[in-house]
Amino acid sequence: MRLFQIDKAILLWGLINEEVLSLFRKEDLLGIPESRPYLYGLKNIFFLKNKDYNCFYLTDNMVGILFASGKIKSTYIFYKEKSDKGFLCPSGSLYVYLLSRLHNIEVNFFPQGEPEKSLDKDASTLGGKKFVKDLDLGFVKTPSDEIIEVS
């Protein structure tokens, strides 16, 4: 799907929970970021496509372009834990939350689906295959969960 073909999409960040599918209509356009390094997006896109949802897969860096282009109408972030401190979310969630707030986009939080063991622990691999030279591994940052405080 090309950028000009996207009208208004619902952004789903993190590992979706099957229970929230009732919130979406089959004709809603769902944007599914890859969510590196865990690649939750791959699991999400296959799951949603198999259930005939209208969705598209995008790289994490395209998220900012979609917001800047006015292509996102609402955001759903799937969290790991909820506490009095806020929502504990996977790496990248704070970026998506802040972009949503910056562009006055509604943000919804839901518990994440059941995670599977990932072949990737950081951005030096993709699907378990190494693509960063050993010499450059020191520059690769290990992802960490992020707490989002919502007031």
Residue ranges of domains in the chain: 3-119
* For the chain, the helix, strand and coil percentages under 3-state DSSP, each to the nearest 5: 30, 30, 45
Q: Which fold has domain 3-119?
A: Rossmann fold (3.40.50)
42 is written with which tokens? 């791959």
Confidence of residue 115 (pLDDT cuts 50, 70, 90): low
pLDDT at 118: 64
What is the CB-side half-sphere exposure of residue 120 using CA atoms within 13 A? 23
Report percent pLDDT > 70 for the chain: 87
What's the whole-model pTM score?
0.84
Beta bridge partners of residue 125, listed in sequence order: 130
pLDDT at 20: 87
pLDDT at 77: 96
Mean pLDDT of 100-123: 83
Confidence of residue 40 (pLDDT cuts 50, 70, 90): confident
Confidence of residue 122 (pLDDT cuts 50, 70, 90): low
Confidence of residue 79 (pLDDT cuts 50, 70, 90): very high
87 in Cβ contact with 150 (< 8 Å)? yes
Between 145 and 72, the higher pLDDT residue: 72
